[in-house]
Amino acid sequence: MIFVPLLLLAAGTLSGQPPATGLWARGYAVIPTPQKFTPGAGEVYFDSSWTLAADGLQPNHIAIRSLHSDLLQFHGLSMHGGPGGRVLRLAVRKDAVDTGADTAIHAQGYRLTTAEEEITITGNGDEGLLYGVQTFLQLLKPENGRLRLPAASIEDWPRLRLRFLHWDTKHHQDRMETLKRYLDWAVRFKVNMIGFELEDKFEYPSVPEAGAPGAFTSSELQEIVNYGLERFIQVVPVIQTPAHMSYVLKHPRYANLRADGNNYQIDLCNEESYKLIFRMYDDVINATRGVDYLFVSTDEVYYAGIGPRCSRPYNEKNRSLAWAEFAQRAHAHLDAKGRRMLAWIEYPLLGEHLEMIPSSVIDGVIGEESFIPIENRKGMRQLAYVSLQGSEFLFPDHLPLGSDLAERPASGADDPLEFERGQSEGRIRATYRQLAEGRFWKAHPIGVFGAAWGDSGLHNETFWLGWAAAARYGWHPGAPGPEQHTAEFMRVFYGPDAVNLVETYRMMQRQARAWQRSWDRIVSRTRGPGYGNSDGKGIGTTRYDQTLTPPSLPQLPNLDFRPGFIAQYRRLLEDVPARSLENDRLIHALQDNLGRVSRNHYNLEVMLGLAAFTGHHWRLLDSLAGVERSFHRARNAIRQNNANEAMGHLVAAYNDAGRLEVEGERSYRNLVKIFEKSQFPKGRTVTGREFLHVLDDVKDHWAGRTKDLGYMVAPEQSIGLAKWRKELRALIEEFGKRHRIPIQGLAEQRLEE
């Protein structure tokens, strides 16, 4: 089948608001949108009286099990048959629907027909049947104690063969039950590939230092893989090599393999480097039996051709040549093991050396425009790469925001963070646009890759709206529009009783972006320069920390001080009342939905924890301004020879700052408790083995700054409130002695364990 995405332009889907899809116009949410929907007359009502007829299928077929499980889980319904003989029929027939596509895509096709007495779901293959069941389950709509769905005929199949979701576990390790739940939801969105960026979350039996304490064992990884394969999802290992290898090279044993003297990249001129990398590949291959692919990454290789054993000069051409030689050898090794290689084909590779890359390698990014005609001529396939998260803190930029957050921070500090296009328009809209417009289709993509980077430490629960968009538009590019997708997602993911969650998401974004942009960004005092960015070695290497300057302390004897906090952060403080009110509305909206939704309660718990965390921040700012006002009042009181009143203001400032410390610690501990329901403790010690933490990652990776989740409170801790309060207490005690005033009401705050 030939797909011509530019027809979408003629149809007007990219100019203005795309029309609602046929199912959505009738009130039914289905993700992804089916390729063909032919409406019938009226509705079909479904209840426990229907009988299941699974023609030629084993009773434990995953489509049958998914059907029974989700009917019970989401609707409390079990089919046991009854009078009338109404039948839900499942079957596999090779050519149930004519897709005109290649064999791998064709097997994913299905036909669903619904009528008053019979519903039939027929897959071209077993996976097609499973996908047809998912569509049927999404169509069911509660009404007066029954379930209804439209009388209709649906023919459906994917546009792209491979639909990847990205699990980035550099800075956290999900629990086994979490990953299985993610796979359950992935198949509901017809995902069939997971890019599992393992880094140090796998044991690597032949390179044991590379695995973090408590990393998944070979048998545990195989268990995850098998759970996915049963659902026709391949959990594809993404192994960061030869760059982003700090998780290995930080260990002293491998110091001799560091390129350019850093932990970031391995020396490609040392044969031991290849032996190490290929042992790691083999370890992962042995623990992912049944998977056809391996993603070797080749991400941001800045130092190809640098090392004490390198004989060629380090220049643009030799750097590219070293990259290509690595790719050739990695491909040969994987090909001998029966794995197809995926790689980020980008800097520092030059077009002339792209000719050296075997044509069976899949380009995971379609990054360089000049590479597309070469890859097309070579017959190479690609993944249409879309970014669902980049540098955002706390919550992704799913939806477009107003101009109130487009300005620089209120402090006036220089902030090099700029919204890329995907952020300013919202990542859902960007994903829709990128997969509907023509650029990716200049190449010959075999799939889509929905990247959700964990560098900023976002919880994976915050990615689902974006993950569902990547899956949807990889299945059916250009349909529907991003607004409809967002609305449908809320109904499918949370259930039909959710209310106003689109605006709740937007409030989450506004809170997160306002929080992120409220800090002064200063050159890091603890971490040296980074190694580079996607444009090359040494480019954009400055690392930044977030902080605020606390109010200046008064000085004895006259309590003189330099007021500055309110003036410095005037614009930020003017915004605090509105942010606090929005935070209150956000928490109420989340609590309301937590009591309503029938699905994914934990997802809302994560958002509640983040909302409470940002809410504390607005109170912190307001209280610090209040502290400075107390210092003003204390100074004015002593000028009027009223030492008792001055003491009262000093004590009030001390107590307010103490409450801030306790509240901040409480909100952080609450967040840790919520996160660790689905994740293991970050940087944990297991059987006496401690996690080796180094401040040594490639970029300004927020989540890599601390061994544990403390990176989330690092900006607040950098203010130094504990030390500041200690100094204020000493001042209060000295002031009391000088004026012979007993100190009363000085509260020592305690955090309940």
pLDDT tens-digit readout, 466-484: 999 999 999 999 999 999 9
Place of tokens 């380009």: 363
Q: What are phi and psi of 63, to 5 degrees?
A: -65, -40
- Rounded Cα–Cα distance for residues 473 and 295 (Å): 22
The CA–CA distances, whole Å, from 585 to 399, 508, 602, 608 equal 18, 11, 20, 12
Q: What's residue 433's pLDDT? A: 95
Contacts of 225 (CB under 8 A, 6+ apart): 234, 235, 287, 288, 289, 290, 291
Say whether pLDDT at 14 is over 50. Answer: no
- Rounded Cα–Cα distance for residues 617 and 630 (Å): 20
Question: 33 with 23: CB under 8 angstroms?
Answer: yes
Q: What's residue 109's pLDDT? A: 98
Question: 196 with 165: CB under 8 angstroms?
Answer: no
Say whether pLDDT at 752 is over 80. Answer: no
Q: What's residue 525's pLDDT? A: 80
Percent of the chain with pLDDT over 90: 82
15 or 683: which leads in pLDDT: 683
Question: 544 with 521: CB under 8 angstroms?
Answer: yes
Q: Kindly indicate the confidence band of residue 208, based on its pLDDT and cuts at 50, 70 and 90.
A: very high
Q: What's residue 12's pLDDT? A: 41
- Rounded Cα–Cα distance for residues 310 and 300 (Å): 20
Query: Which residues in the chain are classed under CATH 3.20.20.80?
Result: 162-398+422-498
Say whether pLDDT at 701 is over 80. Answer: no
Q: Kindly indicate the confidence band of residue 13, based on its pLDDT and cuts at 50, 70 and 90.
A: very low
- Rounded Cα–Cα distance for residues 200 and 692 (Å): 11
Mean pLDDT of the 363-381 span: 95
**Could you report the per-residue pLDDT of 305-317, keeping only the tens digit for each?**
888 899 999 899 9
Q: Is 611 exposed, middle or buried (0-12, 13-18, 19+ CB in 10 A)?
A: buried
Q: Alpha-carbon torsion 744, 745, 751, 753, what sign? A: positive
Question: 288 with 222: CB under 8 angstroms?
Answer: yes
Mean pLDDT of the 333-359 span: 96
- Rounded Cα–Cα distance for residues 592 and 594 (Å): 5
Mean pLDDT of the 262-277 span: 95
Which structure tokens are listed for 581? 């009110």
User: What CATH number has the domain spanning 162-398+422-498?
Assistant: 3.20.20.80
Say whether pLDDT at 125 is over 70. Answer: yes
**Could you report the per-residue pLDDT of 227-257, keeping only the tens digit for each?**
999 999 999 999 999 999 999 999 999 999 9
Say whether pLDDT at 3 is over 50. Answer: no
The pairing of strands 146-156 and 141-143 is: antiparallel
- Rounded Cα–Cα distance for residues 729 and 749 (Å): 13
Inter-axis angle of helices 464-475 and 176-188, nearest 10: 40
Say whether pLDDT at 323 is over 70. Answer: yes
- Rounded Cα–Cα distance for residues 346 and 327 (Å): 12
Q: Alpha-carbon torsion 407, 409, 413, 414, what sign? A: negative
Mean pLDDT of the 669-688 span: 97
Say whether pLDDT at 290 is over 60. Answer: yes
Mean pLDDT of the 354-368 span: 95
Q: What's residue 407's pLDDT? A: 38
**Could you report the per-residue pLDDT of 422-465, keeping only the tens digit for each?**
347 999 999 999 999 878 999 999 999 999 999 999 999 999 99
Q: What's residue 403's pLDDT? A: 59
270 or 535: which leads in pLDDT: 270
- Rounded Cα–Cα distance for residues 665 and 288 (Å): 41
Across the strands, what pairs with 467? none
First to last CA, the chain: 63
Where is 149: in which H helix or E strand?
strand 146-156
Q: Kindly indicate the confidence band of residue 262, based on its pLDDT and cuts at 50, 70 and 90.
A: confident
Average pLDDT, the chain: 91
Q: Kindly indicate the confidence band of residue 404, based on its pLDDT and cuts at 50, 70 and 90.
A: low
Where is 118: in which H helix or E strand?
strand 118-123
Domain 33-156, second-level architecture: 2-Layer Sandwich (3.30)
Say whether pLDDT at 115 is over 80. Answer: yes
The pTM score is 0.94
Question: 22 with 129: CB under 8 angstroms?
Answer: no
Determine which of 13-27, 93-107, 118-132, 396-410 has the lowest per-residue pLDDT on average: 396-410
DSSP conformation letters of 537-573: ETTT---EEEE-PPPPPPBTTTTB----HHHHTHHHH
Q: What's residue 348's pLDDT? A: 92
Say whether pLDDT at 416 is over 60. Answer: no
Query: Which residues in the chain are classed under CATH 3.30.379.10?
Result: 33-156
Q: What's residue 697's pLDDT? A: 55
Question: 647 with 743: CB under 8 angstroms?
Answer: yes
Q: What's residue 750's pLDDT? A: 46
Say whether pLDDT at 164 is over 50. Answer: yes
Highest mean pLDDT among 138-147, 294-303, 571-580: 571-580
Cα 664 to its chain centre, rounded Å, is 25
